[in-house]
Structure 1
Amino acid sequence: MIENKIGITLGCPAGIGPEVILKSLQHFQEKFPEVLSSLLIIGDARVIEQRAKWLGIKIPPELEILSLTEIDVKPGEPSVDGFKAMGLFVQKAIDLAKEGKIKAIVTGPISKEGLEKVGIKYKGHTEWLAQELGAKDFVMSFYGERLKVSLVTTHIPLKEVPEKITADKVFATAKLSFEFLLKLKVLNPKIALCGVNPHAGEGGLIGEEEKTVLKEAITLCQKAGLPVYGPYPADSLFFWAYQGRYDLVVAMYHDQGLAPFKLIHFEDGVNITLGLPVIRTSPCHGTAYDIANKGVANPSSFIQAIHLAYKLIQV
């Protein structure tokens, strides 16, 4: 019966999604069997069974699978049928979330190029879920035991970043990040803002955003009682966050935040969308078609994505 489950979408059937999901299930069956009963796989039973046989993994008998398609696909060989299927899996998860039948969604990796090829207008999971679930403010954030990062801007050209950074946007990012830290039960959380420019603008010598936009954002945060500090130079801030001085860093653009995060949490980091009416986590990797037929995909990030989703639905 589908009720209060964590829905796991299969992702692109030709990618490593089915493999890391199966390896994750094996992990939970051996170490955390209580989590297994909360999971619902939204995908293709045939693909799962074929991949399990190929990997030599036994599918847990208590696992619930909602099979929406029945396609033949080879690992590492993406196809239009596979792209259509991955879209169906995501849309079904959204529908179940709207109906209140799942509390969280853990998304398997999809191909953005594949979405475009089958006429799906969204750039990826984050925008898709936010639009369909009616989230006004949402944030792409990343979770690791040693470092947590939220992004003010995401998948846009670097030249567009300054005009997209507004005081209201920074404030919304900080607010959702603070609420996330509270759900994680972080005591007396501290959030630090990255500067936009090298050396956080050097007092206006290398840019004005720190003295204008970010100063205004910090004022908004202080009025709302948010423990936000900065802005600090990005080249040193991440070191201090890693050392534990700050619990989360708000980065102004994609690579500013993701380069240091993935240096530390490349294998076990989790992508989480803040601001949705349901929990949504995902691994920090893509479809990896180049290794999908080798059986060597590391499930650590997916395992942590499930762990985090399970933890948050208990709050």
Structure 2
Amino acid sequence: MNKKNIVIKEVGPRDGLQNEKEIISTGQKIQWIDLLSNTGLNYIEITSFVPPKWIPQLSDALEVAKGIKKKEGITYAALVPNLRGLESALEADMDEISLFMSASESHNLKNINKSINDTFPVLKDVAVSSIKAGKTVRAYVSTVFGCPYDGEVSIDKVRDICEQLFQYGVTEISLGDTIGVADPAKVEIVLGELSKHFNKSRIALHFHDTRGMALANILRAVDMGFTTFDSALGGLGGCPYAPGASGNVATDDLVHMLEKMGYHTGINEDLLQTAAVFIQNRIRKSLRSHQMAIYNTVK
């Protein structure tokens, strides 16, 4: 029996770097993204067009977006919080616009400084304007599996938020385990309920590896028929507004696991490691992934 294709969306240049204290130069970011473009990835989220005071690491978003060598067949995306950020994203000719909000009220207030209800009109404006400009729109919904401030998050609330976002013309929603509290049993419950309402092909999963459960959670989701996952090379990342959140599931570990199991990702592991070594040297600390731990031990 042939194994299915799995789509891996690399978020390292945005979600991975946003929490790093070591400022990476614009040129180095461009070099890294160009290396990622050569690995076989077909989706890279390269930056975020947010006010520089929010995330100083990504204050050079426009320069980075204009400086990379885009390859045909790759979608280059950026996170956009409002219409002002969208102006810059359109100037940079991003392929896809990413929206973001939380499923929990407290995290949304910390992250966006707005209530969930007040966030919807802003995202609607960005989504509608993006589509008019010929861009596709993706949305992140954070804290789906638990919130550092509110604890458990209602599946009904997640469903209602997703329904609203899809009404705005969003093509895909990425459900985030922002603080890494999910486990395979919980993944089955949450995704089982949501799959009653939404096509699985329009749902992606964004797992953090705080408790070492991310790969197990992904396998459970794959078994349930979900095929799109966000990850960050080397396990980079964390949420500035979620205390204790560790990095994203590592792209290199995820690709290795899936390819060993016979799934097809289209990603070259050797070229992925080259890109991982490059960014590890720039942040001046070891990456968290198991693949890089092996590399660092035997190099």
Relative to the length of structure 1, the TM-score reads 0.29
Larger Rg: 1
Instruction: Name which structure has the greater RCO, CA cutoff 8 Å, separation 6+.
Output: 1
